[in-house]
Amino acid sequence: MAAPEPTRKNTVLIVLAASALAGLWLLDFSSIQPNRIVPGISQNLFAAAGTALSVVLSIMLAALVLLGLWSRSRRLVAAVVIATAGLCLLPWLLVSVSLNQLTDDQPSARIGLGAAFWLLLFLLSLMLVECWQRVNLDVHWRLIAMAAVIGSWSWAYSSGQLEALGLLREYHSRSGQFHQALRQHLLLVGGAVGCSLVLGFALAVQILRRPRWQEPVLNVLSFFQTIPSLALFGLLIAPLSYLSNQWPWLQQFGIRGIGWAPAVLALIGYSLLPIVRNTWVALSEVSPGVVDAARGMGMSPAQVFIQVRLPLSLPVLLEGVRITTIQAIGLTAVAALIGAGGLGTFIFQGLGQAANELILLGALPTIGLALLADGFLTAAIQWLRQRHLSTSLTAQATAP
Amino acid sequence: MIELIGVSKTFNGRTAVDAIDLTIPKGSICVLVGTSGCGKSTTLRMINRLLPHDAGIIRIDGQEIRSFNEQKLRQQIGYAIQSTGLFPHWTVERNIGLVPRLLRWPKQKIQDRVEELMTLLDLDPAIYARQYPRQLSGGQAQRVGVARALAGNPETLLMDEPFGALDPITRDNLQNELLRIQAQVKKTIVFVTHDIDEALKLASQIVVMDQGRIVQVDHPEQLLRHPANAYVENLFGSQDRGLKLASLFPVRSLFETDTPIQANGLKAPGSGPEDCIEATDSLRLALSKMLWAGASEMPVVDANGQVLGQLTLEQILRANGK
Ligand SMILES: Nc1ncnc2c1ncn2[C@@H]1O[C@H](COP(=O)(O)OP(=O)(O)O)[C@@H](O)[C@H]1O
Ligand SMILES: [Mg+2]
């Protein structure tokens, strides 16, 4: 019989779980506001959601600390299960807060989310990722865990008991605006990334052909990146207003000093560097021997480019698109300041009105979009890499 | 047949190939040798127009190469290089089938051709057809490279140090295989190397280049016996050219000219391969075996182990010193 695997301390898990436990006891979980204006009364989890659920959650976190102290790969699977369960439990804590704290005579009362809630959400997610990476959990199980969490949240949402959340109240009172802002945001990001992809690609191919241009072009593009985003948005207002005053028909297309035009221009300015640099590096790193052979076999220049250079540089090229997209999603939020619309509108409105929930209504979807884009493009890049290039593992097995 | 007449190539004012004249007969292996940077690759790459020639005429089968469409020309000339240049994102099968696809052969014909070539180059299609180049060893990758060069059934084959990156044993195997294949398919091969032994082994004609010029064109034996100048003599090893010469002739060639001595038809008395000389061994190997055994004569056997006769040291000396 094999000796049992020795236990080891997993310091990361211990620290995360212990911090979550401490936060749960010491910080406010939620607050109750009678209406949007009056400041709320904060409560910790015990006061807000009742003893039973609080004790359950505390026990789960304590178990995670213990698993961290004596960890083994089997036990870390248990930690994955517990962390997933914790994330599934979170919305139901809010449901419990709503049931315990709100009475029917306060129709406009709202629940605010406190530091303990965010801390739990954040730390439980970190623990989940830490543990599944440690045990190298199969992708299918990871997806099942994520589906469980999303399912639990959707279920809690559809129960109607979360309606009192300030965030949802803000959403419902302006859902039309929200969807429009989301559309604008996606359009701005998509337009800017699309334009920079086309432009950047053309530029990269040009500097590949004319090496003398390479330094000036990259220098100018790096210079763009050093200008703070607000300054660049601001700097574009003057020339664009001048243009639209000179040729008023431009205004029909929405080209003015403020609005989407300066926003898209600035976004393109920022997006070009990662795209040009990655495309250029990717294309120039294709092995000269491969290109020489392709030409020598009688492929036409177009065939060499489309069938050989492009597919071989696609992973690095997509990496540029990934950086650009994430960057553009964030920058578009700032572009709301010059009237470009998008999710940033809520952030700046919320800042003006000191309405935290409104800020979150803009900020959370922005973060969500960035994470989504990141996850999707990273997966695509990895798939491409694995498909053709990292087959060296099997090489040792088959080569004599 | 390939003809180069007064062909020159200049890079930024520096002459890389200087007015060379060369005729490569059909079905021969012409090996270009010379020190690094002497213009071997440039000469080769002008033949398939990867580099345009600045002056002179290059003809293939009597036709100036500029009169062809550039891509069509290259599709009819096999090309294999040291780094293999295999496409890492394509399977072995797809790599080999490249030129036939460019030539728009029907699918089934391409597949048959790929299998035929893989078998010819000793790569089991069942195992390797679906593998990617990264999964292959250096020798296998180069076999695929050669198969790809042969795929379109070209009359002409250009090979730029194709075995240069391989270990000596694998290189030796591939050289033997190239000779075996050449005996079957009879292409016109232009082969670049800086390995003199490789040149002597493969060439029907060796072209020695120095600083963009052709110094000497000759058969291997003639080159060794009558080097045109000190550069050639140096390149071909003034010290050990006796041995290099001995490596050119198989033992069998002696038995064809001289009458075999005492062909008695008995099994070889010894057991190991060191105790007797095989008819296909070179005189150099025969000499080495005699030196090792400390014997001045040894039995010669054929592939079946039948003794053909007795080879003596004197015979070797006479043959080599001719
Ligand atoms: N594409 C090129 N551009 C500029 N110089 C070149 C190029 N290709 C070869 N050369 C020069 O031409 C000379 C001959 O090179 P090459 O034919 O590659 O030599 P080798 O005999 O080693 O194959 C060298 O001096 C080399 O630097
Ligand atoms: Mg060379």
Q: Which residues of A349-381 are buried (b: 16+ CB within 10 A; e: fewer)?
A: bbeeeebbbbbbbbbebbeebbeebeeebeeeb
Q: Do residue B214 and residue B272 come from a single domain? A: no
Which CATH number goes with the domain that contains A373? Answer: 1.10.3720.10
Q: What is the dihedral of CA B240, B246, B247, B252, to 10 degrees?
A: -170
Q: Do residue B220 and residue B312 come from a single domain? A: no
Quote the percentage of chain A above a pLDDT of 90: 44
> Is A387 among the domain residues?
yes
- Cα B5 to ligand 1 centre (Å): 20
Residue A287 touches chain B, beta carbons under 8 Å: yes
State the average pLDDT over residues B310-314.
Answer: 88
Residue B142 touches chain A, beta carbons under 8 Å: no
Q: Do residue A190 and residue A253 come from a single domain? A: yes
Average pLDDT, chain A: 86
pTM of the model: 0.78
Q: Do residue A136 and residue A195 come from a single domain? A: no
Question: Of A246-260, B192-206, B277-291, where does mean pLDDT reach its minimum?
Answer: A246-260
Label residue A390 by pLDDT band (50, 70, 90).
very low
Q: Tell me what pLDDT residue A396 has.
A: 34
Q: Do residue A199 and residue A161 come from a single domain? A: no
Which residue CA neighbors atom 14 of ligand 1 most closely? B39
Q: Tell me what pLDDT residue A234 has.
A: 79
Q: Do residue A292 and residue A391 come from a single domain? A: yes
| Residue among A287, A297, A388 minimizing CB distance to B102 | A297
Q: Do residue B254 and residue B229 come from a single domain? A: no
Which residue CA neighbors atom 1 of ligand 1 most closely? B11
Joined together, the tokens standing for residue A64 give: 């995670």
Q: Do residue B204 and residue B287 come from a single domain? A: no
- Residue A48 belongs to domain spanning: 11-165
Q: Do residue B223 and residue B256 come from a single domain? A: no
Does B185 score more than 50 pLDDT? yes
Q: Tell me what pLDDT residue A20 has.
A: 94
Q: Tell me what pLDDT residue A151 has.
A: 95
Sign of CA dihedral B246, B249, B254, B255: positive
Q: Do residue A216 and residue A296 come from a single domain? A: yes
> Which domain-ending residue is among B181, B206, B239?
B239
> Is A353 among the domain residues?
yes
Q: What is the dihedral of CA A347, A349, A355, A361, to 10 degrees?
A: -40
- Please report which helix (H) or strand (E) contains residue B215, including its range: strand B213-218
Beta-strand pair B29-33/B63-64: unpaired
Label residue A73 by pLDDT band (50, 70, 90).
confident
What is the per-residue pLDDT across B49-69, written as a single tens digit (0 to 9) for each? Answer: 999 999 999 999 999 999 999
Label residue A305 by pLDDT band (50, 70, 90).
very high
CA distance B313 to B322: 14
> Is A5 among the domain residues?
no
ipTM of the complex as predicted = 0.86
State the average pLDDT over residues A30-48.
Answer: 83
Q: Do residue B254 and residue B235 come from a single domain? A: no
Domain count along chain A: 2
State the average pLDDT over residues B108-126.
Answer: 94
A145-149, A251-255, A339-343 — which one is most confidently predicted on average? A145-149
Residue B305, phi then psi, degrees to nearest 5: 85, 5
Label residue A4 by pLDDT band (50, 70, 90).
low
> Which domain-ending residue is among A116, A144, A165?
A165
Considering only CA atoms, which of A81, A88, A87 is closest in space to residue A132?
A: A81
State the average pLDDT over residues A370-394.
Answer: 74
Which residue CA neighbors atom 23 of ligand 1 most closely? B41
Tell me which chain A residues have a C-beta less than 8 angstroms from the C-beta of B145.
293
> Is A2 among the domain residues?
no
What is the per-residue pLDDT across A198-253, written as a single tens digit (0 to 9) for each? Answer: 999 999 999 988 889 888 988 988 888 888 877 887 787 778 778 878 877 777 77
Q: Which residues pair with A31 in a beta bridge?
A: A42, A112
Q: Do residue A106 and residue A199 come from a single domain? A: no
Q: Do residue A379 and residue A356 come from a single domain? A: yes
Does A322 score more than 60 pLDDT? yes
**CA A242 remoteness from chain centre:** 37
Which CATH number goes with the domain that contains B311? Answer: 3.10.580.10
Q: Do residue B232 and residue B253 come from a single domain? A: no
Q: Do residue B185 and residue B103 come from a single domain? A: yes
> Do B135 and A293 make contact, defined as CB atoms within 8 angstroms?
no
Decide if B193 contacts B33 (C-beta within 8 A): yes
> Which domain-ending residue is among B194, B214, B239?
B239
> Which domain-ending residue is among A165, A185, A213?
A165
Label residue A393 by pLDDT band (50, 70, 90).
very low
Q: Do residue A345 and residue A202 come from a single domain? A: yes
Atom of ligand 1 minimally distant from the CA of B43: 17
State the average pLDDT over residues A158-182.
Answer: 88
> Do A399 and B89 make contact, defined as CB atoms within 8 angstroms?
no
Q: Tell me what pLDDT residue B257 has.
A: 52
Beta-strand pair B55-60/B2-11: antiparallel
Whether ligand 1 lies within 6 angstroms of the CB of B212 is answered as no
> Which domain-ending residue is among A101, A132, A165?
A165
State the average pLDDT over residues B72-89.
Answer: 94
Please compute, for residue A166, the number of CA atoms within 13 A of its CA located in the half-sphere on the CB side: 24
- Residue B284 belongs to domain spanning: 249-320
What is the per-residue pLDDT across B14-49, written as a single tens digit (0 to 9) for each? Answer: 999 999 999 999 999 999 999 999 999 999 999 999
CA distance B322 to B320: 6
Does B271 score more than 70 pLDDT? no
Decide if B29 contacts B191 (C-beta within 8 A): yes
Q: State the ligand closest to the CA atom of B42.
A: 1
* Cβ pairs A/B, distance under 8 A: 83
Label residue A150 by pLDDT band (50, 70, 90).
very high
> Which domain-ending residue is among B239, B257, B277?
B239
Decide if A295 contacts A246 (C-beta within 8 A): no
> Do A388 and B135 make contact, defined as CB atoms within 8 angstroms?
no
